[in-house]
Chain A
Amino acid sequence: MNWLMTTTLAFGALALTPLTASAGTGDTLKAVQARGTLNCPGDIGSYLGFAEVDDKGVWKGLDIELCRAMTTAIFGDPSKANIIPIDWAQRWPSLQSGDIDIVIKASGGTLSRDGELGLQFSNSYYLGTTKVMAHAELGLASLKDAAGGSVCVPASTSTERQVSSYLAAQGIEMEIVAIEKNEEVEAAYMSGRCDTFAAWGPVLAIAASQSENPAAHTLLPDVLAMEPEVMITRQGDDNWVDIANWTLSALLFAEQEGITSANIDEIKANPPTAEIGKFLGATPGMGKGLGLADDWAYNVIRQVGNYSEIFERSLGQGSAYKMPREMTALWKDGGVLFPLVVD
């Protein structure tokens, strides 16, 4: 896909340089409300666990659920989310041209995206790490033990770059087998063509969980790279970033306080603390500063669920992938995610 990326980037740069539009505060929310839908990116095939299509052609996955949560915060109705299929390369031009209102597409916050492309980030909703999986029978404890062996990587991706720079930095000699298509990289590793397989963490977890014998694979502790996945908006609309941040925060706050889509009505009827009362809209003040209704957070949790519910049905125990939360757990469970304070 390298040539594709190059062409695309060239065009993207061409399109963006003179026109980097900066949205004024509140403009995006007004435009979205006037349109009646929130436009989010889907995928042009599927990105396992983050944006995929079920048997009835309905989008699902972590990124999609976050979009639905934000839609519910604005409209009180998740079905107002309009998922537009776009390719990775199209994310930024589509955001700048207004085809989509926010990028929630397993995309990391980077310096060049912030500085050169004129974008703005929310807090991180997922920590994506690049890791290495190995055949368990090799008995590897870390990537150092794999010296002299081979590693399968998807060709011309950031993973390939990360692997070679990590190997160089650690002084490990390995044969890098770069293969074009993700399915084939995985098939090559599974068939024993390579000793190890480097990829984005969720991809590895999914590959292992779907293999014939999940116990035959170990995830090595080496973290080759870390990328915090964020929601990305056009620069200049502070209110819009606030809404993204507070939507995420509401999902995490509900999880922290044990509020789920099932018990939310009981809790709202009898809130244990003043903060939770305010959070659920039992007392006023939650929405005004953001330009939303006071019960927006209640609607989100009621109709979409809290972060844990979303995660479990997209990637966790309720999905085909059975991924653990790990770093993506709440701070009190040993993870790095946290809600902002409702006061």
Chain B
Amino acid sequence: MTALPAAPALTPPARRFRRLRRDYFGSPASALMTLASLGILLGLGWWLMNWALLDATFSAAATQAECVQAGGACWSVIAARWRVILFGIYPYDEQWRPSFACAVVAGIILLSCLPRMWSFRRLALTWGLGAAGFYILMRGGILGLSVVNEQQWGGLPLTLFIFVATAVAGMPLAILLALMRRSELPVVARVTGWIIDTIRSLPLLSILFTFAIVVPFMLPGFLIGEKLYRVICGAALFFAAYQAEIIRGGFQGIPRGQDEAAKALGLPYWQRMSRVLLPQAFRLALPATINQFVVAFMETSLVVVVGFIDLLAAGNTAYKTGEWKFAYVEVYAFVAAIYFLFVFGLSRYGAYLEARMNAGHRKE
């Protein structure tokens, strides 16, 4: 093993310049590559800026002909159809409700990211109140709000709801599955292993389809429930199967001594797990867990196959009309920007968590 060179401390400008010259202009070939890459990047940037800003059309009233003549992006489609993209087919006059509902979800996510909120009571309270607030705003039926069925939910609030509900329901299930798979009773461990592997061998699409369409044929009427919640159950099951294996990976990274020491202290099973092993397992599994969250966020767009107009499908709906059929690139760019905002935020938060946890680790 060779030790990596230690990162240099902050360099003064002169030294930084010298380093730049050494790294990028060390030889004629290297200088040529640098200049060529710079040229390509600048060209792309210039083209992109022209397309997205300088030659673009912004007015909601612009027609296809005006957009084509201007030559750049036709952001008019967003100006005219942003409410379809963000809220799908949610009744127009009631769309302040999903706006607030999105704010509620964003609020509880941000709150739970703050380290000072990390106690079971505070988190449970935030999430309980948040979930109730979201549901009342979206579904209505009380406080004088008209009822809006789950099938009319759409766009960003639906995507956020499916993601958050999948994660909130899937995470405890994942922990349970991981613990059961590590159980000392061979039957439990073996059967859990089979369950996890079975779920993992099925495509998410077929799981969603089964829960949305096939399950109602098999359940008695009072158990069927709303399609949205069945689909979330399916997605949560899928999430849990993968996340359980990630947590198990984390467990395997913990030295045996930890468990043995906890046992020697006479801690009962649940305390050993919740106070000693799980926190360490989560720390070890953090990068993979963040990864799993990002994937779960992306996969919410699959619910379109069972008839939900999530953010991506709402984008499709927005450009597929006689007037805006040509402007699909702009709509996809807009939707991609929204996804980027959330996923990038999630990854940065993951990086922050890692740094925070590793800070404690290094001190040891």
Contact = CB atoms under 8 A, between A and B. Distances in A.
Nearest to A84: B151
A210 B328 CA distance: 14
Contacts, number: 116
A118 B227 CA distance: 24
Interface string A76-87: 000000011111
Contact of B87 (A11, A52, A57, A320): A57
Interface in B298-323: 304-309, 313, 316-318, 320-323
A90 B306 contact: yes
B89 A59 contact: yes
A165 interface: no
B217 A4 contact: no
A57 B322 contact: no
Interface string A46-60: 111100111111110
A14 B218 CA distance: 12
Nearest to A83: B89
A15 interface: yes
Interface string B194-227: 0000000001011001101110110000000001
Contact of A56 (B92, B151, B203, B321): B92
Interface residues on B, range: 35 or more
Nearest to B213: A93
Contacts of B83: 55-57
Contacts of B81: 55
Interface string A303-332: 000000000000000011100000000000
Interface in A16-65: 19, 42-49, 52-59
Interface in A92-123: 93-94, 97, 99
Contacts of A19: 217
Given A7-B205, A85-B89, A320 B323 contact: yes
A15 B322 CA distance: 37
A59 B152 CA distance: 11
B348 interface: no
A7 B328 contact: no
A99 B214 CA distance: 12
A52 to B, nearest CB: 5
Contacts of B316: 44-46
Given A53-B84, A55-B80, A59-B89, A4 B305 contact: yes
B306 A52 contact: no
A91 to B, nearest CB: 10
Contacts of B323: 320
Interface of A: 4, 7-8, 11-12, 14-15, 19, 42-49, 52-59, 83-87, 89-90, 93-94, 97, 99, 183, 206, 209-210, 212, 319-321
5 contacts: A11-B214, A45-B304, A48-B321, A85-B307, A90-B307
Interface of B: 64, 68, 80-81, 83-84, 87-92, 151, 154, 203, 205-206, 209-210, 212-214, 216-217, 227, 304-309, 313, 316-318, 320-323, 325-326, 328
Q: Which 7 A-B pairs have the closest CB atoms?
A: A320-B322, A45-B316, A46-B320, A56-B92, A86-B307, A93-B213, A57-B89
Given A90-B305, A320-B322, 13 more contacts: A11-B209, A11-B210, A15-B213, A44-B316, A56-B92, A59-B89, A84-B307, A85-B89, A85-B307, A85-B308, A90-B212, A90-B213, A99-B227
